[in-house]
A and B are shown apart, each in its own frame.
Chain A
């Protein structure tokens, strides 16, 4: 957010649930709303923003469909980063070792994870389809490199540009 503001000169607002992080954001001279994403978006008018960025947060949201709808309503476009729980290393840990997966991208023990949803990249595109959401662009990232094929197996993260 700081980079976007400084380098691209955009007008940006953050939504942050953690009080310490709110202080850090204000310290950087940025605008921020202290609250969860469920309540952080709904107050805005339609198309208030060119882009809404949901970076690795959808798996921590209570009301996924409402947040997605709100993001698509208040933003003309939405950039969303989605973790892939079907990454091949995760599959190995769950399917072969029989343990809840821990990867560099999803580094939490089951008893301390802030994630409340375990979704895969295919799950996410399925949800987009269900809601009639257009996927304008997508890129898939493995451990620090682009993944050209079988993303639901080989990508740790998917980044989607979507709109209504």
Chain B
């Protein structure tokens, strides 16, 4: 798919308002989104793709002039798992983010300046409520499926709990119904790294040099948690750079160079305040708001496919099994597969062959169910 273009949908313009789960109010909310394939006449073939923490609306195909395709191009397109010959695929950026949707780096109309920390707290449920506004706008009553990995999986789960009648299936991948203390701990180190950078300046850094160093270190920590012991061994081993280094503690090992490179390139595309807001949204997420998850899922008619990966230690398989268990107890039709992979948490972006096989057949079945009704 060439010449894919990002579109923008703005809603809740005054006097309307977008009420957040915290009770705070946002106005003029913009969502960046892309679509691939065609919506059929019955409007029954739409699938919403939900991106992970630092992802964006550009899930597939090429933007004009780009050399790299969207982040899940292996999975979305003609003949792929989310087959654009059959399905109308939508991917929207989340609110609170920094890739075209309203977030802390957006201009606050009331002050004419970027929100910074005046931006209200955002939850996973708020992200889903905003997506629902987009789905309403597109005239889609019922999505064939909602699918995503990691934070995207949380959104899929949130759709299942909040809007069970608006979806026919859900595919939460490498995710969790709520974060463990270990996951919160890694996020907290990332946040501390950003907030201890003097350039962060209480979140008020727009127009001047931002907390690049702090954000880069946060990303380095993130990347460690996305890989596995085995995948790092295979990718880097103990390989070292040849020659004399400018200073004693410059990066000698390949793995050091890789993390520094990833950190430095990340700051060019991501906003530090969005990093803070989105990690908090994930940490506070609890799919069932304190009650047993199976109670929250009770009565959901959607079919569910849960996928986990063996070497994922950030979102370990037992987190996925908790979701499966709740589905079983709630009488929700659920399938579960734990894919053998050494890629760690990144596997949900990399193990496309196995994922595609499961998802394509699961979707075909979900689509067929409709025809019989």
Contact = CB atoms under 8 A, between A and B. Distances in A.
Interface of A: 11, 13, 19, 22-23, 25-29, 31-35, 39, 43-45, 48
The interface residues of chain A, by DSSP majority, are classed as mixed
Given A26-B361, A43-B325, 7 more contacts: A26-B362, A29-B361, A31-B333, A32-B337, A33-B328, A43-B329, A44-B329
25 contacts: A11-B333, A22-B337, A23-B354, A23-B358, A25-B335, A26-B305, A26-B335, A26-B357, A26-B358, A26-B362, A27-B361, A29-B364, A29-B365, A29-B368, A31-B303, A33-B334, A33-B335, A33-B336, A35-B321, A43-B328, A43-B329, A44-B329, A45-B329, A48-B328, A48-B331
Contacts of B188: none
B364 A23 contact: no
B21 interface: no
B339 interface: yes
A11 to B, nearest CB: 8
A32 B337 CA distance: 8
Nearest to A15: B336
Nearest to A44: B328
The interface residues of chain B, by DSSP majority, are classed as helix
A34 B338 contact: yes
Contact of B336 (A11, A28, A32, A44): A32
A19 B329 contact: no
Contacts of A31: 303, 333-335
B85 interface: no
B256 to A, nearest CB: 35
Interface string B302-335: 0101000000000000000100110011010111
A85 B37 CA distance: 58
Interface size class of B (residues with CB under 8 A): 20 to 34
B361 A34 contact: no
A44 B330 CA distance: 9
Nearest to B366: A29
A34 B336 contact: yes
A128 to B, nearest CB: 26
Nearest to B320: A34
Contacts of A34: 336-338
Contacts of B334: 31, 33
Contacts of B361: 26-29
B38 interface: no
Contact of B357 (A23, A29, A35): A23
A28 B334 CA distance: 15
B361 to A, nearest CB: 5
Interface string B68-87: 00000000000000000000
Nearest to B307: A34
A46 B158 CA distance: 27
B340 interface: yes
Contacts of A45: 329
Contact of B324 (A11, A28, A33): A33
Contact of B337 (A23, A39, A48): A23
Contact of A19 (B331, B333, B338, B368): B338
A45 B331 CA distance: 9
A26 B354 CA distance: 12
Nearest to B331: A48
B338 A43 contact: no
Nearest to B354: A23
Contacts of A43: 324-325, 328-329
Contacts of A32: 335-337
Interface string B143-174: 00000000000000000000000000000000
A17 to B, nearest CB: 10
Nearest to A29: B365
Contacts of B340: 19
A129 to B, nearest CB: 31
A33 B340 CA distance: 15
Contacts of B305: 26
A90 to B, nearest CB: 35
A34 B336 CA distance: 5
Contacts of A27: 357, 361
B134 to A, nearest CB: 30
Contacts of B337: 19, 22-23, 26, 32, 34
A130 to B, nearest CB: 29
B331 A35 contact: no
Contacts of B362: 26
Nearest to B368: A29
A133 to B, nearest CB: 24
